């Protein structure tokens, strides 16, 4: 399963299927799920067997080799197979792309660190990474809380 592009990208649990270029020459990275844990219900832990639907998510990420890339992760929504489980269905997630997150964990951390440790302003950092400033403000708060517990 693991190929060279997957190793280069380095997002645990995600496999690079192919890399194309969009109309403006930006690399578009098609990803699939490469982690068995992603199909286990987050509530009861049971491994799901029945797909409810497919969804495509486009989380923002750090540049790869200095180039901005566009990620496109085609993932499944599963029915939980435990009859009594209150969680009837769930979407695949991995540590680097939590459910409902619109950016990778490593981008969120880098944005928070750029403001907290790198002396960048929130607006500069948002522009650097092509994300909105409220997301950066939130990442900064998370980073500062982790680094400065007091
Ligand atoms: Zn469940």
Number of H helices, E strands in the chain: 4, 5
Please tell me the pTM assigned to this model: 0.86
Report the DSSP beta bridge partners of residue 90. Answer: 78
Calculate mean pLDDT across residues 114-139.
90
| 20 CA distance to ligand 1 middle (Å) | 36
Sign of torsion, CA 26 53 78 18?
negative
| 143 CA distance to ligand 1 middle (Å) | 32
Same domain, 74 and 145: no
Same domain, 22 and 64: yes
Q: How far apart are the C-alpha atoms of 6 and 14, rounded to whole Å?
A: 7
Of 74, 93, 112, which residue is a domain's last?
A: 93
Q: How far apart are the C-alpha atoms of 36 and 30, rounded to whole Å?
A: 19
| 45 CA distance to ligand 1 middle (Å) | 6
pLDDT at 83 exceeding the cut of 70:
yes
For 3-13, the pLDDT digits (tens) are 899 999 999 99
Same domain, 3 and 37: yes
**Domain housing 138:** 103-150
């Amino acid at each position: 399963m693991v190929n060279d592009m997957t190793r280069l990208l380095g997002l645990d649990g995600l496999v690079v299927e192919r890399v194309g270029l969009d109309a403006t020459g930006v690399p578009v990275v098609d990803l699939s799920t490469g982690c068995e844990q992603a199909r286990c219900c987050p509530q009861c832990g049971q491994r799901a067997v029945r797909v409810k639907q497919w969804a495509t998510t486009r989380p923002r990420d750090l540049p790869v080799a200095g180039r901005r890339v566009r990620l496109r992760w085609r993932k499944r929504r599963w029915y939980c197979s435990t009859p009594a489980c209150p969680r009837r269905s769930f979407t695949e997630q991995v540590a680097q792309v939590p459910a409902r997150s619109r950016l990778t964990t490593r981008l969120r951390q880098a944005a928070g660190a750029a403001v907290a440790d790198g002396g960048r302003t929130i607006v500069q950092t948002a522009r650097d990474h092509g994300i909105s400033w409220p997301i950066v403000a939130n990442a900064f708060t998370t980073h500062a809380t982790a680094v400065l517990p007091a």
